[in-house]
Amino acid sequence: MVNETKLREHICLLAKSLFDRGLTGGSTGNISARTSDGGLLVSPTGTSFGRLDPARLSRFDVERNLISGDEPTKEMSLHSAFYDTRSTAGAVVHLHSCHSVALSMLPDANTDNFLPPLTPYSIMKLGKVKLLPFFLPGDPAMGKAVRGLAGKRTAVMLANHGPVVAGKDVEAACNAVEELEDTARLALLTRGMSPLALTKEQITKIVTHFDVEWDD
């Protein structure tokens, strides 16, 4: 695992990349990563992904006590829920990405498997994405909803709000949430055009070949 100084810099670098490409705007979104001692580094509340300061990230010890840095995001319950239910989670990213939010508002959105199987990459990086109902921002019930999945999903979509994705490290989590947004964009671009999605047989081959967590 990288040392903490490099991890802080990496979190801020990737967050700025997401911000610069319009994947989350203003002071929206939050990001966290496990430290080598089992603690967490978390983006502070009210901060912009485009201007995170490595020295001011919220630092938690292994017992989730804030030991340094600014006050953390109000969505800590979401992050904690993933870390507590998925031992492989090394980072969590939450965005307010436009296309995925738009797709979540459509009346026929699939709550159990939010993303249509348009490419192999969303399946490989995300598995099935659970669409959760709307919650008030910061509501601890969001964390309870994630805990209710018992660690079986690596990603959820908060209706009318944004995606939340866990990964083995901060780069993997960022790559996966980008794939989620790209797939949502594809779904909207091809909506009403009867696109040729992957078949059940093709999905099974992808899941088997790439050892994908696929909650049936």
Cα–Cα distance between 79 and 146 in angstroms, integer? 9
Could you give the CA distance from residue 176 to residue 153 in angstroms, rounded to a whole number? 13
Residue-wise pLDDT tens digits, 132-146? 999 999 999 999 999
Domain assignment of residue 216, yes or no: no
- Check which CATH number belongs to the domain holding 11 and give it: 3.40.225.10
Whether residue 214 lies inside any domain: the answer is no
In this prediction, residues 41-59 reach a mean pLDDT of 98
Return mean pLDDT, the chain.
97
Q: What mean pLDDT do residues 87-106 have? A: 98
| pLDDT of 1 higher than 90 | no
Q: Is residue 177 part of a domain?
A: yes
In this prediction, residue 100 has a pLDDT band, given cuts at 50, 70 and 90, of very high
Is residue 109 domain-resident?
A: yes
Task: Say if residue 73's pLDDT is above 80.
Answer: yes
Residue 132 lies in a domain: yes
**CB-side exposure of 29: number of CA atoms within 13 Å?**
30
Catalytic annotation on 83? no
**Is a pLDDT exceeding 90 seen at residue 21?**
yes
Does 215 fall in a domain? no
pLDDT tens digits for 167-186? 999 999 999 999 999 999 99
Instruction: For residue range 53-66, list pLDDT tens digits in order.
Output: 999 999 999 999 99
Q: Into how many domains does the chain fold?
A: 1
Q: What is the mean predicted confidence (pLDDT) over 71-78?
A: 96
pLDDT for 3 beyond 70: yes
| 59 inside domain | yes
Among the listed residues 28, 44, 121, 185, the single catalytic one is 121
In a domain, 57, yes or no: yes
Long-range CB contacts (within 8 A, 24+) of 7-12: 7/33, 7/35, 7/41, 7/170, 8/41, 8/54, 8/55, 8/57, 9/54, 10/170, 10/171, 11/41, 11/43, 11/52, 11/54, 11/57, 11/170, 12/52, 12/53, 12/54, 12/57
Parent domain of 161: 4-209
Question: What's the pLDDT score for residue 2?
Answer: 74
What is the predicted pLDDT for the residue at 215? Answer: 74
pLDDT of residue 204 exceeding 70: yes
